[in-house]
Chains A and B, each alone.
Chain A
Amino acid sequence: MNIVVTVKQVPDTWAEKKLDPTTRTTDRKSVDNVMNEMDEYGVEEALKIKEAHGGEVTVVTMGPEKALETVRKALSMGADKAVHITDEALAGSDALQTSAALAKVIATLSPDIVITAAEASDARGGVLGALLAEHLGFPQLTQARKVTVDPGAGTVRIERQADNGYLLVEAATPVVVGVVEKINQPRYPSFKGIMAAKKKPLTTLSVADAGLDPGTVGLANAASTVLDAQPAPPRQSGTIVKDEGDGGTRVADFLAAQKLI
């Protein structure tokens, strides 16, 4: 099985996230950056498939130089090799541009399975998997809480998480699979894995290396633009109703005024 898993470096989940006031893109410089937590489930599932059926796991990411830390983490968890698309010109790319760039590179890897997380914790677009499937011309299986691979038949069957149970869905490889958190418990990098990560093959690609048209990437060429952004207003303090015999009525009046009842 040739498995590709996409990962993204994002601001630490617990950090206060901000937008750069001029570009209105995520400010990645003022915070600690980590591997998108959901991607850890994707990497774990890729490794499990490899352990069960053999093959190779390739990590693919697009991001600034610092994103190499996230690539290293995936390699230290056990992935075999990595591709890092990095170029100043890519800064500010939107989901459409990112998916086009990733798809172009992923296609050269001839994967049987491409694994993506349901979403990244920074932009929370949740569309990368679908866009990749479209670019690659692969079927897409989404919201997988369990993945079963049949290499002989060339199929992947998933349990697709639903509101009140799950759906069994199957597709022929090559396929894009989106996973949810329920699917597994990501492993911690082993000490030996950490020491081995630096020695694993890493391909770094610029816009030109990846064969991308410079006129289509980056903030200036993005299909979507953030026109305005405001920090969330501070929380208002609540209204305290002191019961002086009419508490119930006053609470009901308050709820009615908020159009809640």
Chain B
Amino acid sequence: MDAADFSEILTTVRTFIHERVIPVENEIDEKDEVPLDIRDATKEMGLWGFAIPEEYGGLGLSMSEEARLVFELGYTTPALRSMFGTNNGIAGHVIIEGGTEEQKRHWLPLLASGEVTASFGLTEADAGSDPSTLTTSAYRDGDTWVISGAKRYITNAPIADAIFVFARTNPAVPATRGISNFIVPKGSPGLTIGPRDHKMGQAGAWSSDVYLDEVRVPHTHLVGGDDGAGYGFATAMRCLAHGRIHIAALCVGLAQRLVDESVSWAAQRHQSGRPIGDYQLIQGMIADSVTDLYAGRALVIETARAFDAGSDTKVGPSATKYFCSEMVGRVADRAVQIHGGAGYIRGVPVERFYRDARLFRIYEGTSQIQQLIIARHLLREAAR
């Protein structure tokens, strides 16, 4: 994209976040809901399709551009990004990576405009870190597929118009090769959405269980068409790699906010007649957080560049997600410490962000799973 246009887009998003979202962050946390006018504004701006290719109605940002945009989005409650996170990210990428041309032409413009909200239905109660063990199954019956099973922690499921459900279609082949993906529209008979999960943080970002009891979808809803059967797992892994850099960028945005909150508090808050920022032990914590932030930001920028170049699409995304999610955890912890008692009080931003940040080390691959991906990839290369 033209550099001047992209810079204008970043300015617009930054202004929007400062003017419209930051003033209602506490309200979003308390009511567990993003106000409708903010949701509508994000659709009108084009935030629902920034990662969807231009030819399908999106903005077609490269990973490097997306990372810079997500730095801005991370500056406020993660609930904002979560609304359109599945359309741009894991769910949208199911169609981008695995869909037929016809599926792309039908679904991607709907996702890019926000007319349709989609969810990514991979995780199950006993298949989270290792989704290849999922037990949701589907069998073909003439021109339809019949899907049964249960999904857990499905982001945006309570408001989803379509859920992209991963199900085992061939139990006879090795675990990762017998999985396919299906587009399951809202209201399909046998589809039940569970109550909203009551989470520690990230209020306003909704998730829930999804139950499928003999849900029938037409064969045209098999992602990738006839060629898509059995390729669901490979598609899911590619979607997750892209999403990991996205989440890492989000962590960097939040770390920037936490640093800003920490510095401004340390400059204002007085003890013994002096701002607490005058004390070296506070200065040490601020310096550690700023250094963490710089390292995370530089890592995201470099990993996104390598991802765009195609030179590192596995280890880089995992290492970056691993580092940045752990990094923002440390920065959030220090931010609460710098705030002292106030940092433990509801209504103070860093208290809320401390709870929000905890999820980053868990979802879209725990830190431990990232460690395995990183180490196993290198060891496999060495064994060749």
Contact = CB atoms under 8 A, between A and B. Distances in A.
Contacts of B41: 187-188
A194 B37 CA distance: 21
A191 B9 contact: yes
Interface in A97-111: none
Interface string B217-230: 00000000000000
Interface string A163-204: 000000000000000000000010111111011001000000
Interface in A241-260: none
Interface in A52-81: 72, 76
A188 B9 CA distance: 10
Interface string B116-139: 000000000000000000000000
A191 B45 contact: yes
B5 A190 contact: no
A241 B5 CA distance: 57
The size bracket of the interface on A is 10 to 19
B16 A194 contact: no
Given A190-B45, A191-B45, A195-B2, A76 B16 contact: no
B112 to A, nearest CB: 10
Contacts of B8: 72, 76, 189, 194
B12 interface: yes
Contacts of B37: 185
B8 to A, nearest CB: 5
B42 to A, nearest CB: 9
Interface in B8-62: 8-9, 12, 15-16, 37, 41, 44-47, 50, 59
B379 interface: no
A76 B9 CA distance: 10
B1 interface: yes
B12 A188 contact: yes
A78 B76 CA distance: 27
A195 B1 contact: yes
Nearest to A77: B12
A9 to B, nearest CB: 15
Contact of B50 (A189, A191, A198): A191
Contacts of B47: 191
Given A187-B44, A194-B8, A195-B2, 20 more contacts: A72-B8, A188-B12, A188-B16, A188-B41, A188-B44, A188-B45, A189-B45, A190-B44, A190-B45, A190-B46, A191-B9, A191-B12, A191-B45, A191-B47, A192-B46, A192-B59, A194-B5, A194-B9, A194-B12, A195-B1
26 contacts: A72-B8, A76-B8, A187-B41, A187-B44, A188-B12, A188-B15, A188-B16, A188-B41, A188-B44, A188-B45, A189-B12, A189-B45, A190-B45, A190-B46, A191-B9, A191-B12, A191-B45, A191-B50, A192-B59, A194-B5, A194-B8, A194-B12, A195-B2, A195-B5, A198-B2, A198-B5
Interface of B: 1-2, 5, 8-9, 12, 15-16, 37, 41, 44-47, 50, 59
